């Protein structure tokens, strides 16, 4: 019998023996130094659920379970995951490979592992039989071949136990040489990309049967089972397009020179933004800002946001184009001057040579005089055209301010102080108009010694609000810009802000408003907001305190910031030094600073709640940090007493978690108007 046939026979006999011993010893354990270790075995994976990841691979099977049992558990667990509506799409694609590699780690050396396992079985058998050697007879006609088999088996076992000191004996999931999930990817899943899903999976009765890897117990190894998680980075990207939401460069320092913090430290829910996982590079998730930014360490605050000062690609391109054009123009000018200089030199030589000729009267002095006059005329024309070119920009600025009537301080009489806004004090006063008519006004004064930027912002606001003309918007009546203090003059609303009006007409004051009056107030605010949103304005601070009430229950939207000190408890610092009205804000504005018409719609829902609650503070009794938690966990305001179900349903629609599913202001105005007209019709039909 040749050597090849001998090897085949040996392996065949070994497989029969190992199979018999494995079936007999499934539930046995090895006792070593006072504790028990469960040992396992490697088998070729022949299932279907993990075929894409484990095809033709030997996988490690723990004791007391078969590969068929694991296959059924995996199918059940993946069925739960596929039907789950809570799993983020960015996390879902890693669920199945994570389960497969967790339940069935790949054996790097399956033959060695199985030999270790059956050696363990043999030792247990010896101990069970009183340390006597259990003999198993193999019948063979070739005694030489059997002798060779026993000799090779002895040498192989000795080689396994003497040379491989890296593995413990017997093999276990923790001790054996297994190819497990890459630890870095496991930690990214558990701590960043699938934080919520990972926590649910560990506690889930079906997924828990399969087993989810404990990332801390996974050894660091370069040869590991990767899930394909990639950190989006482009080291060559040194500028950004549009608002920078697609920027993937490696800038990790803010514009002030502070190091950026890791995103997952401060944004616990980043599953919607896979570009943030495992890094601290400047990004603009969800287009929250106008350019890439990051969190930086600030001792005065828990966290702070700063832009990163990355240049815009368009600016860089234009800078390059301008530089190339400038160099080209400079080169052309140099060539032109050189040619011109040579021509003048040649003319000069000719005139010098001909100075004594009869034609000397037509020399360069006569020509230069005429040229000088022509040049002088050219300069006058050029200067005139420069002034003419400069005029349109000045005219635009003047026209923007001339749209509003201008007054002097002598035309205004200051009365009481109403509060303080972003630019300075706000006063009640009287204005004497050009027709000698005296009207009450609210005066928004710019504080003295304001910086140049503040003055520019003040003028910019005048230009912006000069275009606003609506019966439910507090309109500007005029400005004072000839002498400090600079002022904006607005129509004065006799009954103050809506919040105070609601309180003064509440049951606490032994008064009440009719359902028709509630609807009248809400309808006017919605129509004013419909006008603003139609002109692409975002209010950012819509609340009862920023709506003013005049006689006849006329309500108009304002943003004076009146009596901001009185309403200081309504504002809170979130992620920056700006004070934010978190009780009126949706989660996207609180978390990412994203203000849109949809966030104004959320605020309108809160204003509705204020109206029907007679000016009660939203989430009263809770601190601002607690309010943020309530909003993020979808614990909405409850229905106010005596509030119609239809109106509260409208509030709930305004507070929809997905901004795109909130109603528009046009839809809100239409509904409120329909309800208002219906109430009027019912009132007219009711017998007195």
> Catalytic site residues?
541
Q: Is 614 left (phi over 0), alpha (psi -120 to 50) or beta?
A: left
CA-based end-to-end distance of the chain: 120
Give the sign of the dihedral formed by CA 280, CA 281, CA 286, CA 287: positive
Cα–Cα distance measured from residue 231 to residue 215, given in angstroms and rounded to the nearest whole number = 19
One-character DSSP codes across 41-110: EEEE---STTHHHHTT-EEEE-TT--HHHHHHHHHHHHHHHHH-SSS-HHHHTTHHHHHHHHHSPEESSH
Cα–Cα distance measured from residue 196 to residue 183, given in angstroms and rounded to the nearest whole number = 19
Question: Residue 473 CA to chain centroid, in angstroms?
Answer: 33
Neighbours of 352 (CB within 10 A): 11
Containing 279, the helix (H) or strand (E) segment is: none
Q: Are 474 and 402 in contact (CB under 8 A)?
A: no
Neighbours of 365 (CB within 10 A): 9
Cα–Cα distance measured from residue 347 to residue 340, given in angstroms and rounded to the nearest whole number = 11
Three-state secondary structure call for residue 489? strand
Neighbours of 189 (CB within 10 A): 25
Cα–Cα distance measured from residue 433 to residue 405, given in angstroms and rounded to the nearest whole number = 9
The angle that helices 110-128 and 143-163 make with each other, rounded to 10 degrees, is 100
Residues 6+ apart with CB under 8 A from 298: 258, 304
Neighbours of 193 (CB within 10 A): 23
DSSP state letter for 190: I
């Amino acid at each position: 019998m040749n050597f090849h046939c001998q090897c085949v026979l040996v392996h065949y006999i070994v497989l029969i023996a190992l199979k018999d011993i494995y079936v007999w010893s499934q539930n046995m354990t090895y006792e070593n130094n006072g504790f028990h270790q469960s040992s396992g075995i490697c088998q070729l994976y022949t299932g279907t659920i993990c075929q894409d990841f484990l095809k033709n691979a030997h996988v490690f099977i723990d004791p007391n379970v078969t590969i068929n049992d694991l296959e059924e558990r995996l199918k059940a667990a993946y069925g739960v995951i596929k039907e789950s509506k809570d799993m983020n799409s960015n996390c879902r694609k890693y669920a199945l490979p994570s389960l497969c590699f967790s339940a069935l780690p790949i054996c790097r050396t399956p033959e060695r592992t199985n030999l270790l396992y059956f050696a363990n079985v043999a030792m247990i058998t010896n101990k069970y039989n009183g340390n006597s050697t259990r003999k198993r007879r193999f019948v063979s006609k070739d005694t030489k071949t059997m002798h060779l088999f026993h000799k090779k088996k002895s040498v192989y076992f000795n080689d396994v136990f003497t040379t491989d000191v890296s593995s413990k004996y017997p093999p276990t999931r923790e001790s054996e040489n297994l190819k497990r999930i890459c630890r870095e990817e496991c930690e990214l899943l558990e701590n960043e990309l699938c934080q919520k899903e990972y926590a649910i999976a560990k506690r889930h009765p079906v997924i828990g049967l399969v087993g989810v890897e404990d990332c801390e117990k996974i050894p660091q190894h370069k040869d590991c089972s990767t899930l394909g998680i990639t950190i989006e980075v482009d080291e060559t990207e040194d500028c950004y397009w549009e608002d920078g939401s697609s920027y993937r460069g490696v800038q990790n320092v803010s514009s002030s020179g502070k190091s950026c913090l890791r995103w997952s430290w401060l944004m616990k829910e980043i599953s919607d933004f896979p570009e943030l996982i495992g890094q601290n590079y400047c990004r603009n998730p969800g287009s929250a800002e106008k350019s890439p930014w990051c969190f930086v360490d600030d001792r005065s605050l828990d966290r702070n946001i700063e832009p990163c000062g990355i240049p815009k690609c368009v600016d860089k391109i234009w800078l390059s184009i301008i530089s190339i054009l400038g160099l080209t123009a400079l080169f052309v000018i140099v060539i032109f001057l050189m040619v011109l200089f040579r021509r003048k030199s040649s003319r000069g030589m000719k005139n010098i040579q001909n100075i004594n000729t009869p034609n000397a009267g037509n020399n360069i002095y006569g020509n230069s005089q005429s040229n000088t006059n022509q040049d002088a005329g050219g300069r006058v024309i050029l200067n005139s055209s420069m002034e003419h070119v400069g005029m349109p920009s000045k005219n635009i600025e003047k026209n923007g301010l001339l749209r509003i009537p201008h007054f002097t301080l002598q035309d205004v009489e200051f009365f009481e102080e109403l509060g303080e806004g972003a630019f300075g004090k706000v006063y009640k006063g009287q204005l004497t108009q050009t027709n000698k008519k005296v009207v009450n006004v609210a005066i928004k004064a710019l504080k003295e010694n304001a910086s140049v930027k503040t003055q520019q912002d003040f003028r910019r606001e005048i230009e912006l609000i000069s275009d606003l003309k609506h019966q439910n918007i507090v309109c500007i009546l005029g400005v004072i810009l000839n002498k400090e203090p600079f002022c904006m003059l607005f129509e004065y609303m006799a009954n103050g802000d809506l919040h105070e009006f609601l309180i003064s007409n509440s049951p606490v004051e032994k008064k009440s408003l009719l359902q028709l009056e509630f609807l009248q107030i809400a309808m006017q605010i919605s129509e004013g907001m419909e006008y603003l949103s139609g002109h692409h304005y975002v209010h950012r601070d819509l609340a009862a305190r920023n709506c003013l009430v005049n006689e006849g229950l006329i309500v108009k939207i304002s943003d004076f910031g009146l009596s901001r000190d009185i309403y200081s408890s309504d504002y809170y610092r979130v992620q920056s030094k700006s004070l934010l009205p978190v009780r009126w804000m949706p989660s996207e504005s609180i978390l990412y600073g994203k203000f849109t018409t949809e966030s104004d719609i959320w605020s309108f829902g809160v204003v509705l709640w204020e109206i029907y609650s007679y000016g009660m503070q939203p989430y009263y009794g809770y601190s601002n940090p607690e309010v943020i938690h309530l909003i993020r966990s979808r614990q909405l305001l409850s229905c106010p007493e005596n509030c119609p179900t239809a109106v509260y349903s409208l509030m709930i629609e305004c507070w929809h978690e997905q901004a795109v599913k909130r109603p528009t202001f046009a839809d809100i105005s239409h509904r409120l108007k329909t309800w208002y007209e219906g109430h009027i019709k019912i009132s007219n039909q009711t017998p007195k």
